[in-house]
Structure 1
Amino acid sequence: MKIAINNIPLKTAHNTRGVGYYASHLIEYLKQQNLVEVQEFTKLSEIKNADAIHYPWFDLFFHTLPISRRFPTIATIHDVIPLVFPKHYPVGLKGKINLIFQKMALSSCKYIITDSNVSKIDIVKHLKIEPDKVSVISLAADPKYKIINNDSELLNIKRKFRLPDRFLLYVGDANWVKNLPFLIEGFRQLLQLPGFGDIKLVLIGGVFLKNVENIDHPELSSLKSVNRLIKQYSLEESVIRPGQIENNELVVFYNLATAYVQPSIYEGFGLPVLEAFACGSPVISSNQGSLLEVGGQAALYFDPANIKQFLSITKEVLGDKSLRNKLSKLGLIQASKFSWDRVAEETKLVYLKVINNE
């Protein structure tokens, strides 16, 4: 079985984002398990022979998926959040036209893969795809995310980034759906409570060091709000922003964190939650989107519009070591349910369905 997989996400800025992570790991594990013969391509003209082709990425508002093609085609759509919350993701005329073409291209795809049941429901609703053409294949954390027992490795990172003994961790972007102004407000209120004044908040992501105040773009409004709130509340010393760090350093951050927080209004999956689980970090998460699917019984959940509830859960986790140990053990069990071996195997089954016209 010969499958041609589009590798554009590995050659663009997507390489360091979720799309690139998915594409690189899928290709790696399909090859590693010798499940299929993989041919990577950038342009269709590069494909010499294939039983099917797979686009492991999909952009709603850029015309990236060919409408007519020689081979049966599979596309992976990670989420359609801009269609679920259109007011917060304004699209110009060009984007609307591209969406029309992308929908036309999707209609001729044999199969769609997505990361969660929530995303499948959204895809069926907003892109008008038949449910039986959409397969849910959950992602997984990279195996490098694990508990570190080397004290010197932990201490080196702690010293390098001047990390405190107790801190909350967030990893990711800063767009509207991530709900970070809520997190900053909740954190400010947490610091005012007796016994929690020493807690720090660590925000991991290159976006947090960007100077965006003079850039007029709707997608930057949430980041601007975060920066303003940090300044307004004089939290510069309490909120640590290391910027974009190396993956091996991120593993240590997860290990050192007192708890990981995912405050999102919505997620199509929520990979950092699995990464935190795999590193033994207790997880405090929003209960929206796919996060309940990913976290299962291993996280404590809050309504991402309810700061009082967030504070109550966060206080409980920070103040109770036995609870943190319990969540850590549950998280390790939950993370073990997801693997890239399984992702590759289930994706191979989709390829077989497409080739056999099932």
Structure 2
Amino acid sequence: MKIILDPQAFNMQTYGGITRYYTEIFSRLKGKKGLSITLPIHQSNNTYVVHSGLLEIENKEIVTATLLKWLNTIGISTRSLKRKIEQKKLKNPLESSNFDLFIPTYYNPYFLEYIGETPFVLTVYDMIHELFPQYFIGEPLNVVINKKLLLEKATKIIAVSNNTKKDILAIYPEIDASKIEVIYHGSSIKVNENIKVILPSNYVLFVGSRDYYKNFYFLVESILDLLKEDSTLKIICAGGGKFNEEEVEFIKKLGLQEQVEQRYFEEEQLGLFYKNAKCFVFPSMYEGFGIPVLESMACGCPIVLSNVSSLPEVAGEAGIYFDLSSKEDLKEKIALVLKDSNFRNEYILKGLERVKLFTWEKAASQCLELYNKAIKND
């Protein structure tokens, strides 16, 4: 089986769940007997793929990379040259027609003009753009248009949760349900005790993007009283970029400048952010899967999360759920974790057990099985 793995997500992300997913899957499939994987990337800034063993750089490409680096050093822009090199690197294997399966990593349908009747398998991570368009004003509408086109034309579709499959069929009932299979993500995170991260002793953790549907403001307002009662209690926002002006003003208005912090982290540090937190709070209004849920469980951190979309499906009985319409309910659930150590430890143990169900080895095996079905048109 010869597979071309599309590079578009790797060109979009330095970090991110999408490229983590493909790197974890294909680094496990690489080297399997009878399987050839081509990832047509000349060079990449993506952290995961650089260390994955998936890049096969030819000697002439090393020379080209050195030249590009030198041109940058002397102040000459290489953006257009890089684009031409990447396009050529991708176009050559596509035009050769010497492959059995194409795997797009995002929703740009550029490849359709090249692959003809060759099958392709599309992974759908969520239906957030379709369900919450109000949060993506100004973003290109073509994400929705292109996704719909690829859903219709895909040989097989991977949905990352049953909830995502349900959403696809609710929005596009004309899609053949039999060609959609659910394959869960695995967990990659590890707790590295050998590195040092200075963290407060008493904090609630929020991870990643603070876009409106992620409900960051909702969380802060929900536990305002808890923060006022205990000046040692903090909210640590790991990643997600610096607070913007609106967020700074919001935090200042509530008088929480000393208790709500944004922290950067290196990849190997994130496990310690989870492990040392009193709890991880995931108040999101919608998730296609919710990788932070697995991360939290794997690191021995209890999770307080909303009872919507895919989250109950992933967390199962290891989740401490709150009513998304009630700030008071969220406050009570967090207070319970903070004040009752037996309750907290109970959910730590539940999480450690639950996360065992989700492995990249299992996901890679299921993906390979589906790829074979796509080629055979089963």
Q: Tell me which interval the TM-score lies in, with the shorter structure as reference length.
A: 0.7 to 0.9
Shift of 1:135: 1.1
2:197 is paired with a residue of what secondary structure?
A: helix
Q: Match for residue 218 of structure 1?
A: none
- Alignment partners' CA distance in 1, 2:147 and 2:119: 16
Do the aligned partners of residues 242 and 32 (structure 1) sit closer, same or farther apart at CA in structure 2, a change above 3 Å counting? farther
Q: Match for residue 108 of structure 1?
A: 153
TM-score by length of structure 1 reads 0.84
Q: Match for residue 186 of structure 2?
A: 140
1:15 is paired with a residue of what secondary structure?
A: coil
2:333 is matched with which residue: 305, 313, 338? 313
- For residues 121-270 of structure 1, the aligned pairs below 5 Å read 121-127=166-172, 128-142=174-188, 144-146=189-191, 150=193, 153=194, 156-158=196-198, 163-193=199-229, 196-207=230-241, 209=242, 212-213=244-245, 224=246, 226-243=247-264, 245-270=265-290
- Alignment partners' CA distance in 2, 1:69 and 1:314: 51
1:16 partner letter: Y
| Paired residues of 2:122 and 2:150 also in contact (CA < 8 A) | no
- Alignment partners' CA distance in 2, 1:172 and 1:64: 30
Q: Match for residue 57 of structure 1?
A: 106
Q: Match for residue 372 of structure 2?
A: 352
Q: Deviations over 1:37-65 (max 9, x none)?
A: 2121363532442111111333xxx6556
1:235 is paired with a residue of what secondary structure?
A: coil
- For residues 268-287 of structure 1, the aligned pairs below 5 Å read 268-287=288-307
- Alignment partners' CA distance in 2, 1:105 and 1:273: 28
Shift of 1:284: 0.8
Q: Match for residue 19 of structure 1?
A: 18
2:165 is paired with a residue of what secondary structure?
A: helix
| Paired residues of 1:277 and 1:334 also in contact (CA < 8 A) | yes
Shift of 1:352: 1.1
- Alignment partners' CA distance in 1, 2:32 and 2:361: 8
Do the aligned partners of residues 136 and 230 (structure 1) sit closer, same or farther apart at CA in structure 2, a change above 3 Å counting? same
Q: Match for residue 81 of structure 1?
A: 128
Q: Deviations over 1:304-343 (max 9, x none)?
A: 2211100111111111111111111111111111000011
Do the aligned partners of residues 164 and 105 (structure 1) sit closer, same or farther apart at CA in structure 2, a change above 3 Å counting? closer
2:149 is paired with a residue of what secondary structure?
A: helix
2:296 partner letter: A
Do the aligned partners of residues 44 and 289 (structure 1) sit closer, same or farther apart at CA in structure 2, a change above 3 Å counting? farther
2:255 partner letter: S
Do the aligned partners of residues 318 and 101 (structure 1) sit closer, same or farther apart at CA in structure 2, a change above 3 Å counting? closer
1:79 is paired with a residue of what secondary structure?
A: coil
1:120 is matched with which residue: 165, 183, 198? 165
Q: Match for residue 216 of structure 1?
A: none
Q: Deviations over 1:18-53 (max 9, x none)?
A: 111112212212116558321213635324421111
- Alignment partners' CA distance in 1, 2:143 and 2:3: 27
TM-score by length of structure 2 reads 0.80
- Alignment partners' CA distance in 2, 1:2 and 1:295: 36
Q: Deviations over 1:152-185 (max 9, x none)?
A: x47x312xxxx22111111110112101110111
2:134 partner letter: K
1:16 is paired with a residue of what secondary structure?
A: coil
Shift of 1:262: 0.5
2:377 partner letter: N
1:66 is matched with which residue: 112, 120, 124? 112
- Which protein is bigger by CA-based radius of gyration? 2
1:322 is matched with which residue: 337, 342, 351? 342
1:157 is paired with a residue of what secondary structure?
A: coil
| Paired residues of 1:298 and 1:330 also in contact (CA < 8 A) | yes
1:41 is paired with a residue of what secondary structure?
A: coil
Aligned residues: 326
2:154 is paired with a residue of what secondary structure?
A: coil
Computed over aligned residues only, the root mean square deviation of the Cα atoms, in angstroms, reads 2.2
Shift of 1:78: 0.3
1:298 partner letter: A
1:132 is paired with a residue of what secondary structure?
A: helix
2:181 is paired with a residue of what secondary structure?
A: strand
Q: Match for residue 217 of structure 1?
A: none
| Paired residues of 1:119 and 1:290 also in contact (CA < 8 A) | yes
